[in-house]
Each structure stands twice: as structure tokens, then as C-alpha cells.
């Protein structure tokens, strides 16, 4: 196992990974909308460029799905009893549950953010 210094990130990378984690619920909702929606047709064409709404939706769904896989892959490396508490703290900014010491929560939070950054190719 790595020591705690291994999980320290540059400030910019830390915040990018943190915001990717905070987007998790909206990414899940957007993916569900993209998968279950159909492209809107407005009737008459208005330009000479052919549009591809289905292809654009598929590309967006693939990008959102990749971000979701990164986050869920990082979460799978965290013990189950800490996952919900970490997500509540990161996404909803609620205090940590009392099942563990604050330093334990901070250590797992640091690891989760590190795993997201690593999975996203930020480091």
C-alpha cells in the first residue's frame, strides 16, 4: 500500500477531479436522458450542412458514460462502508458519518480523488 504522500495532487488536478466527482449525479441523470430520448426534428431543413442528431447524441452519451465509468471505477477501490459517506461529503457537502475518525475519512477522500484523477488521465 502506498503511504499518504503518494495521494497528494497538484492543486489544479485536485480541483478538476473533485469537480468531476461533484458532477456524478448530474452525469447519471444526463446519461439516462440521452439514452431514453429521441432526437428532435424541427421540420424543414435550414442549412446546407446535413445534421446528425443521433450521432451527436451517441457521441455525447459515450463521453458521459466514460466519465461515469471513471468515477465508479474509483469508487470500487474504496471500502463499501465509506462510499456513501464520501459521496455525501463531496457532492452534498454534508459532514462525515460517525462510523470512523475524521482522519480516516480524509484519508479515503484523498484516495478517492486521486483514483478519479488517475482514471481520467489527469496524472
pLDDT in tens, 29-40: 999 998 887 666
Q: Are 116 and 70 in contact (CB under 8 A)?
A: yes
Q: Where are the domains of the chain?
A: 9-35+54-119
pLDDT in tens, 67-102: 999 999 999 999 999 999 999 999 998 998 889 999
What single-letter DSSP state applies at residue 78? S
> Cell 466514460 appears where?
66
pTM, rounded to two decimals: 0.83
Q: Are 112 and 16 in contact (CB under 8 A)?
A: no
Please report, in angstroms and rounded to a whole number, the separation of the first and last CA atoms in the chain.
19
**What span, in angstroms and rounded, lies between the C-alpha atoms of 77 and 98?**
21
Amino acid at each position: 500500500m502506498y503511504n499518504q504522500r503518494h495521494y497528494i495532487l497538484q492543486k489544479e488536478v485536485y480541483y478538476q477531479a473533485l469537480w468531476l466527482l461533484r458532477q456524478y449525479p448530474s452525469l447519471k441523470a444526463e446519461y439516462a436522458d440521452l439514452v431514453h430520448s429521441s432526437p428532435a426534428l424541427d421540420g424543414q431543413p435550414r442549412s446546407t450542412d446535413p445534421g446528425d442528431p443521433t450521432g451527436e447524441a451517441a457521441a455525447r452519451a459515450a463521453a458521459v458514460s466514460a466519465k461515469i465509468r471513471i468515477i465508479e471505477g474509483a469508487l470500487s477501490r474504496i471500502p463499501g462502508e465509506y462510499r456513501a459517506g464520501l459521496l455525501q461529503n463531496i457532492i452534498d457537502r454534508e459532514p462525515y458519518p460517525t462510523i470512523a475518525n475524521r482522519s480516516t475519512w480524509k484519508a479515503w477522500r484523498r484516495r478517492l480523488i486521486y483514483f478519479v484523477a488517475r482514471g481520467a488521465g489527469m496524472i
